Amino acid sequence: MSLFGLFDIGKSALFASQTALDVTSHNIANANTPNFSRQEAILEIATPVSTRTGFLGRGVTVSSVRRHFDRFLEAQLLGQKQNFGRAAVLEDVFSQLEEIFNEQNGVGLSTKLIEYLNAWHDVANNPQLLTQRTALLQNADNLVSESRQIENWIENMIQSIDREVPIIIESINTMAVEISRLNERIAQVEGGSPKEANDLRDSRDKLLSDLNELVNIETLEDSSGRVTVIVGQRNLVSGSIVHSIAANKTVDGQFAITLENTDITDRIVNGKLSGLLDSKDTMTNGALKDFRRLIAAITNEVNIVHSRGFALNAQITDFSINDITGQKYTSTQGVIQSATITDFNSFSPGDYVIQFNAGATQYDVYKNGQLVSSGNTYSAPSVLTNGMTITFSGGNPPQGNDIFHVSAQGEDFFNPPSVYTLNKTSSNANITSTAIFDRTALAYDEYEIRFTSPTAYDVYNINDGTTIINSATYSSGGSIYFDGIEVVITNGTGSPQNGDIFFVSPLENAVENFNVAITDSDDIAAAKTSSGLPGDNENALDMIGLFEGDISLYDGTIIGFGDTSYSTPGLGNATFNDFYNGIVMTTGTLSGAAKDSLAFEETLLNEMQFKREAVSGVNLDEEAINLIKFQKAYEAGARLISITDELLEIVLNL
């Protein structure tokens, strides 16, 4: 053992302390760097040498620089980031949605609805006065513009989601590229050795953590340190290969997320992206659709009541009589040739059903679902009822048990709702015309006409999930009737194919088309009889009854006769105000739940972050102690060399 060995020990001490100081400085420098894991120089006893006196220590070596990192905590944290990302988006969207319906701030439809109703009260109080009528039109305009404003707000929110989704997709792709690059560098640096590329791994962990906030991912690490990032069972990053994720809009405006040519939309279940997709879905199929349903119901039902009344200046030409027997009663053999108003004074508009007895000698008359006269003797070729003369065709006279439906209508208050259609998948056939033939049967639902073969289709009610027409035979250009709606599908380049779907909705344009049809306040129909003008206020009272839920527009029970089944119209048993309040409460519940869930996920995330930082975070006091510790060790190492030098001097001076 020579004196020179002391130099080696001193050198190892100096080197080790310096490395430790390096690591400490790095820690201090990164004290506030997110996702940085504090590092520690691991000191080891250098391999001793064997001498005659036994083993002699040979100083210290730095075996590795280890980062303090808890894989289990990290994995939990990543999962929690997904939950947090989703909850944050939902809270953001739903609290905005709630503000659109926040009655407490004086916005929302409730006030406008009640003001419109109150204006009808005032008209009922003084049906002949111009001021009250003008006020009613003004209130109707207010109702219309507030409704459009609300739809506009919801649509704007949906549009901002539509803009946000591609940005998130872009971020995911950018991050994927960076992760793949880091994968390569980590593999190069580590080269299969157990030494970890600490800082590169911290950077990659940071990217994975951010990616987790955007979308639910799974990661696998291979033996050379590369991670595979999986989204919806498809590889986003596989080593150095990146597959781009894409978001495309389908014909009906929904997003389809694809990765590796596979639609993974249904597998996006967490993170910001799922929050955006889900909140869009909730708004489109929840608040927006419900709101449109409400407006469609108001439009249609106010029209039904209004068109059963008489305006101040009512004339015979203001009324029309439509024969809708063919659309409703397929077993009826007789044909109505003409239906006209022959006695205006006793004419009373409404929906009339005329039912003949078994011998076709007598008939009953129903008005708006109520039996108004029964056992009338039929004298061919005409039926005279309520001021109308309905003449039957000589060639096709009424047969036993025939049922006829004529609808006598005056002017509408609002522009009537229209039917929106969308060819979802068919490349051969098209919807060529639509109509609402019986507005009292309108159910405010949405439908799909689904072809099961080139000659057969089902009609499916999207709202209640029932098939209302099963396996009907298709013929090009033939009318399809359901729930008061008539749809005509015509072959284009060919017949529709199995799986072709046509979307039919009386709701889609309800708010867009919502407008007051009346311009002259004299056209407001407050009276129920033409002879009672101008003091008759009974139709105005009916309108109030409609808003109070007191009058039934149509009693669905009498029209069936086992011939065709019709659902009863309306919003269930809810009044307009009830239904609207339902929407408000739903948005409140959504927002409340989103707030609670965000608070919960945030607390959990903070707790996990806290634990992670407890393990991996830098404590400056600790580093200060380390600084002193290694400084002193360095000083002592230097002293050792100096003493060894003195010892050598002594030896040399012998």
Q: Which residues bind another protein (CB under 8 A)?
A: 31-32, 38, 95, 98-99, 101-105, 110, 114, 117-118, 121-122, 124-129, 527, 529, 531-538, 541, 544, 548, 550, 577, 581, 584-585, 587-589, 591-592, 595, 606, 609-610, 613-621, 624-625, 627-628
129/131 Cα distance (integer angstroms) = 6
**Which two tokens mark 596?**
């609670």
Report how far Cα 483 is from the mean position of its chain's Cα atoms: 26
Nearer to another protein, 383 or 618 (CB): 618
Strand order in the sheet with 456-461: 420-423, 501-505, 447-453, 456-461, 466-473
Nearer to another protein, 333 or 603 (CB): 603
Nearer to another protein, 109 or 176 (CB): 109
Least separation in angstroms between CB 205 and another protein: 16
Least separation in angstroms between CB 593 and another protein: 8
Nearer to another protein, 173 or 575 (CB): 575
346/370 Cα distance (integer angstroms) = 18
Task: Provide the 3-class DSSP secondary structure of residue 165.
Answer: helix
Least separation in angstroms between CB 272 and another protein: 21
Least separation in angstroms between CB 594 and another protein: 8
Least separation in angstroms between CB 408 and another protein: 21
126/171 Cα distance (integer angstroms) = 64
Do 528 and 542 contact (CB within 8 A), yes or no?
yes
Least separation in angstroms between CB 537 and another protein: 6
Nearer to another protein, 183 or 282 (CB): 282
**Nearest alpha-carbon partner for 414 in 439, 397, 437:** 439
User: Per DSSP, what are the bridge partners of residue 39?
Assistant: 67
- Listing DSSP states for 76-116 in one string gives HHHHHHHHHHHHHHHHHHHHHHHHHT-GGGT-SSHHHHHHH
**Nearest alpha-carbon partner for 355 in 339, 371, 338, 379:** 371
Nearer to another protein, 490 or 631 (CB): 631
**Nearest alpha-carbon partner for 571 in 467, 466, 442, 484:** 442
Nearer to another protein, 55 or 610 (CB): 610
Nearer to another protein, 520 or 607 (CB): 607
DSSP 37: -
Is the CA virtual torsion 518, 521, 523, 528 positive or negative? positive
Rama region for 260: left / alpha / beta (φ>0; ψ in -120 to 50; rest): left
Least separation in angstroms between CB 540 and another protein: 10
155/581 Cα distance (integer angstroms) = 20
Nearer to another protein, 178 or 613 (CB): 613
Least separation in angstroms between CB 35 and another protein: 11
Do 292 and 511 contact (CB within 8 A), yes or no?
yes
Least separation in angstroms between CB 635 and another protein: 15
Least separation in angstroms between CB 128 and another protein: 5
Contacts of residue 215, defined as CB under 8 A and 6 or more positions apart, other chains included, come to 82, 168, 172, 231, 268, 270, 271, 272, 273, 274
Nearer to another protein, 156 or 603 (CB): 603
* Whether residue 166 has a cis bond before it, omega within 30° of 0: no
Do 457 and 450 contact (CB within 8 A), yes or no?
yes
Nearer to another protein, 411 or 536 (CB): 536
Strand order in the sheet with 336-341: 336-341, 388-392, 382-385
Least separation in angstroms between CB 622 and another protein: 8
Which amino acid does the sequence have at 555? D
